[in-house]
Amino acid sequence: MTVDAFHNLPSIVPFRYLKAQEIDSLEADSALRRFAPGEYLVRQGDALSNEVFVLLDGSVESVDEGRSPPFRLNVIDPGSYFGERSCLFDTPRLFAMRALEASTCLVIPGARFLRLLAESRPFAQAFGTKLREGLGLFEAFDRFNAELARAVGLGHIEIRRLAELYKALEPALHPLVSDEASIDWGALAYATRRLPENVTRSFVFLLTDNLPTVYASPELLFPFVPTEARHRFVYEMMSGKDIVLVRDGLSDLADFVTCLCAFAVEARKIRYRLNHPDLILDISRLGSEAAQGGVLERLPFDARERAELRRLWPGSAEDRVRDIVFHRQAYSVDVRKQVNNYNGRLSEVWASEVGEAAERLAGMRPSDFPADLQVHVVSSNTHSVSNCINPFFARRKDDILAWASSEGIMETEGPGWADAFDEVYYLSRPYFSAHPEARRELDEAEAECGIVRLPETVTTGIQVQLIAADRFCEDRRALSCAEGSFIINIDYAFGEQAEEIMRSLLLLFGRNVRSINVIGKAGASWGRAAT
């Protein structure tokens, strides 16, 4: 390929990030084609074409021929590429592409372009940046985030308005979001388990990142409202109104409102299914006939759907359906982000409590720790690390295995356990359920080996364990531990909260921090926070 126009390729983003040999390889696998004025490069609706075009010289127009008359959408100048949507998503061509003048294109086969993305990290990174801007793939997210930021700034979120923007996101966890005829039970269950238990009966949610002084002890003023799958501090201020304490940053707030949007979308489908005068009359009788279950059977749900409702709300499915119908998802969400607040941030108060616990354990304030005292930060669920250290499991291993064998619940499938203790940890949960007194022994053994546990305090939702490594090493002679070392094991932070929590720990323990270890998928957030 010796055409002069081809030499423009290394100056075009993202191709400029390719190595010389990668350019040569791409040249060998692609075709250089010339197009006369008015000639079509791509036909609208073509489902077979998936090539990517790099315009080296000339100009090309994109045309929507579905309009009458056909409408020119854009004019493409040299140094641009197009056609990548069909290549990436295996979809028909959205628009026709036609040469406005004599033009030259490098035509890259779709499979070769995908291979290039897989083989060249710099190319893929630069392509991703242009993809966001050029194809508007994240436009729905940008609109959603902009509306959420606007609403937070005003102090009020209109869920019905936000729910329409939420639907445009087409969330992976909500595949039936736009299917009005099908209830997405998976998405409904996901959202319901992460929202307050009284979500079908509440109309107003007050979201705040710091309690007003007059409500400093909410547990003494209001009933606590549990959430099954997401630890939240929610209190019912009065019938129909909850106060929800959200963590620092916007991540927790965004999680709450997106779950509420998902719930509202699916609850609306249930309500529309029951939108008939006779059905409404039947539903109004649910309160008196729920115990017999007769009314739910007469509603337009098939056997599987009734089972899903009862699985979602065991023992109260009928009442929840009634709530949904008459509630109409008329949610009002007020936001009170603290400004001009001279009280400490939640993370600062949390760090102070961690510092005080460390002082009790070490006999000195963290700021006075000697240079050779090592602090190792671990982010994990709070039972993983302590289980590995706690001598209880070594002492009671044979008892746990014998009990499980006698009960017929030994793990028999699969290739077996790589470590014998893994099976003990696995079986300990049902063992503790059957032997609640053993938990007291577990807690006593934990204290013996130098573990101090702090509960989820001051609404961070983060448990903390401070572990004096010296003391548990005395129990485990086979382990080698540096003298005077601490393990700070913290529960997972949530989104933006990770940055705030990590900053607080680094300020608290400073140069004594020797390592940061993250278990699980939260590592990406922590890695970003640490840098």
pLDDT tens per residue, range 65-103: 999 999 999 999 999 999 999 999 899 999 999 999 999
> What separation in angstroms does the CA of 77 have from each of 58, 65, 80, 250?
7, 21, 6, 40
Instruction: Answer whether 159's CB lies under 8 Å from 261's CB.
Output: yes
Token pair for 181: 């005829």
Instruction: Answer whether 117's CB lies under 8 Å from 124's CB.
Output: yes
- Identify the helix (H) or strand (E) that includes residue 452: strand 451-454
Assign 3-state DSSP to the chain and report helix, strand, coil percentages, each to 5.
Answer: 50, 15, 35
CA 309, chain centre distance (Å):
25
Q: Of 6 and 103, which is predicted with more confidence?
A: 103
The model's confidence at residue 474, banded by pLDDT at 50, 70 and 90, is very low
* Pairing state between β 60-64 and 96-99: antiparallel
Look at residue 278 in the predicted model and tell me its pLDDT.
85
Given the candidates 1.10.1060.10, 2.40.50.140, 2.60.120.10, 3.90.640.10, the CATH classification of the domain at 4-135 is 2.60.120.10
Residue 303 CA to residue 307 CA, distance in Å, equals 6
527: pLDDT strictly greater than 60: no
Strand order in the sheet with 31-35: 31-35, 103-108, 52-57, 80-82
> Which distant-in-sequence residues (6+ apart) come within 8 Å of 159 by Cβ?
257, 260, 261, 264, 329, 331, 332, 333
The model's confidence at residue 408, banded by pLDDT at 50, 70 and 90, is confident
Tokens 């700034």 sit on residue: 153
Domain ranges of the chain: 4-135, 143-334, 346-530
The model's confidence at residue 182, banded by pLDDT at 50, 70 and 90, is very high
Look at residue 236 in the predicted model and tell me its pLDDT.
96
477: pLDDT strictly greater than 80: no
2: pLDDT strictly greater than 60: no
Instruction: Answer whether 104's CB lies under 8 Å from 57's CB.
Output: yes
- Identify the helix (H) or strand (E) that includes residue 175: none
Buried b (16+ CB within 10 A) or exposed e, 61-72: ebbeeeeeeeee
| Average pLDDT along the chain | 84
Instruction: Answer whether 106's CB lies under 8 Å from 29's CB.
Output: no
Q: Which phi and psi angles does 110 have, rounded to 5°?
A: -55, -45
Look at residue 449 in the predicted model and tell me its pLDDT.
75
204: pLDDT strictly greater than 70: yes
The alpha-carbon radius of gyration of the chain (Å, integer) is 30
* Section 471-485 average pLDDT: 52
Of 95-99, 323-327, 516-520, give the lowest mean pLDDT range: 516-520
Q: Angle at Cα 412 formed by Cα 410 and Cα 415, nearest 5°?
A: 135
Residue 152 CA to residue 336 CA, distance in Å, equals 8
Length of the chain (residues): 531
- Identify the helix (H) or strand (E) that includes residue 524: helix 523-530
* 385-397 per-position pLDDT tens digit: 778 888 888 888 8
Q: Of 530 and 264, which is predicted with more confidence?
A: 264
Instruction: Answer whether 460's CB lies under 8 Å from 497's CB.
Output: yes
Instruction: Answer whether 131's CB lies under 8 Å from 84's CB.
Output: yes
**Model-wide pTM > 0.75:** no
Residue 156 CA to residue 204 CA, distance in Å, equals 11
Of 63-67, 181-185, 376-380, give the lowest mean pLDDT range: 376-380
Instruction: Give which of 228, 224, 225, 226 is closest to 193, Cα–Cα.
Output: 228
The model's confidence at residue 342, banded by pLDDT at 50, 70 and 90, is very low
234: pLDDT strictly greater than 90: yes
DSSP per-residue letters across 95-109: SEEEESSSEEEEEE-
Look at residue 291 in the predicted model and tell me its pLDDT.
46
* Pairing state between β 485-490 and 332-336: unpaired
The model's confidence at residue 411, banded by pLDDT at 50, 70 and 90, is low
Token pair for 148: 């959420």
